[in-house]
Amino acid sequence: MIGDNNITVCVSDVSGGSSNGDTAASDSKSHVVVIVVPILVAIVVLAAIIGGIFYRKRRTALFEYVENGALRSRLAASPAPSNWTRETLQLAIDVIEALVYVHSFNPPLVHRDMKSRNVLITGEMRAKLTEFGIARFRSEDKTMTTGVGTSRWLAPEVISGSRDYDQSADLFSFGVVLSELDTHTVPYEDAVGPYGHTLQDGAILQMAVTGSLRPTFRSSCPPAVRELALLCMSQDPGARPKAPAVAYTLRTAMKSLS
């Protein structure tokens, strides 16, 4: 807890290979710099950054504490319900609204690590996107870093090492998260080889890059959600919908749920 109001925070290491030019890193003396930033604008679907700690070459972000933890943990703790609920769909809407917001910057902010472990659930069962430690602004005159994020959520162009990817890579990862909301399982957990053996990460990634393998959905998944997820996971980045269009589709699907 920090400050006079005893704010509870989460701590995240966002060092990411600090350069020697960092202020805290270049100082020969060991010291800690703590910065606490007042929250001036509340973005409901983003975990707020309260401040940061700089110590030598380490940079640590202080995020607001979100009481129900990561979406991945909640999904793993219970089997998927027989049908999608309004609560499940609202979580998906919250996440895509977060991407709508960060992609609206000029240049767009690409999250680059969009996965269920980086979605936090509040006490009101609403979702907040967090962990912007490897996020980067997309600029026409700069290339993106390869090999970031967690492999099973990554878009093919990121896995293959392309430096010319954009915010559409986040949409691919969002499609993977939709599969998790449907099945409650880790992506590709049911993937098997020609002899019925469980596929390892290396084989999964090779097939994901070529487009021959995608996460699966249950037959009870709403068709609009399944079709949207598969579109988000299109092999061609240009075929993937933009975040606002995805948000619109999910809100329309919400109206059809009883």
Peptide bond into 107 cis (omega under 30): yes
Helices marked H in the chain: 23-26, 71-76, 86-103, 156-159, 168-183, 201-210, 223-232, 243-256
C-beta separation of 53 from 34 below 8 A: yes
Measured CA to CA, the distance from residue 131 to residue 119 in angstroms comes to 9
φ and ψ at 70, to 5 degrees? -80, 145
The length of the chain in residues reads 258
Measured CA to CA, the distance from residue 66 to residue 9 in angstroms comes to 8
Measured CA to CA, the distance from residue 182 to residue 88 in angstroms comes to 9
Q: CB under 8 Å to 239, separation ≥6 — which residues?
A: 231
Catalytic one among 94, 113, 170, 182?
Answer: 113
164 catalytic? Reply is no
The residue type of 39 is I
C-alpha distances out from residue 45 to 19, 22, 54, 121, 252, Å: 31, 30, 26, 10, 19
Cite the active site residues.
113
